[in-house]
Chain A
């Protein structure tokens, strides 16, 4: 079946540091890939998405590239801010299930200190 694997957290960084959160996936079909972010006390917000191989999703300085050859969708940001502290979830949806079900990774907590 489909699955998503994320790096364990928490990831602790100083402000302006470079961020990478690793995500790899297993899918039987042709997945679309997503990053969601959850700020404290809030729901999941879509951060970015990519729907086919070599697509790059970007938003708010975050980027992720859909790499079919390595089945990866790593999240990066060049310079993190304290306000980026949150839990980040990698997820996929699959054409074989009509794209109706999101399969999530375990989430990675990011802590940014001033």
Chain B
């Protein structure tokens, strides 16, 4: 069964550094998402992406965050200048369409900011 893949599984970065988290969505999917889960807290929506542009973003997704689909397969989340509070598990998801189409999640990238 096709799946969403995320790399790396664990990223350790110094505070203030830039980090890029990578995702390969399922190939025929058109909608892409990023979520994060701070340890012990809820899974929170960050951003959705469709037709090469952001379709919705949360208040968490400020100017430090950006997303990109640089080619036909990858979907990336960039954090420009990381803060300690960015430490979390980041999940990428994709779906075939909007409406009631289910979102398929990757295994996540654990981001640790030192």
A: residues with CB less than 8 A from B are 32, 34, 36, 41-46, 49, 51, 89, 91, 93, 97-107
Contacts of A106 in B (CB 8 A): 41-42
**B56, A101: Cβ atoms closer than 8 Å:** yes
**Shortest beta-carbon distance from B105 to chain A in Å:** 4
A102 contacts B45, C-beta separation under 8 Å = yes
* Bound complex: CA A100 to CA B100 (Å): 9
Please list the residues of chain B having a beta carbon within 8 angstroms of any beta carbon in chain A: 4, 6, 31, 33, 35, 41-45, 48, 50, 55-56, 58, 91, 93, 98-108
What are 8 pairs between A and B in contact, CB < 8 Å? A43-B105, A44-B43, A44-B105, A49-B100, A91-B43, A100-B50, A103-B45, A107-B42
The 10 A-B residue pairs with the shortest CB-CB distance, nearest first, are: A44-B105, A43-B107, A104-B43, A43-B105, A100-B48, A101-B45, A46-B102, A51-B100, A32-B100, A43-B106
Known: A49-B100, A51-B100, A98-B56. A42 touches B107 (CB 8 A): yes
In the complex, which of the residues B98, B104, B108 contacts A100, with contact meaning CB atoms closer than 8 Å? B98
Q: A34-B102, A45-B105 are in contact. Are A97 and B42 (CB under 8 A)?
A: no
Query: Cβ of A100 and Cβ of B55 under 8 Å apart?
Result: yes
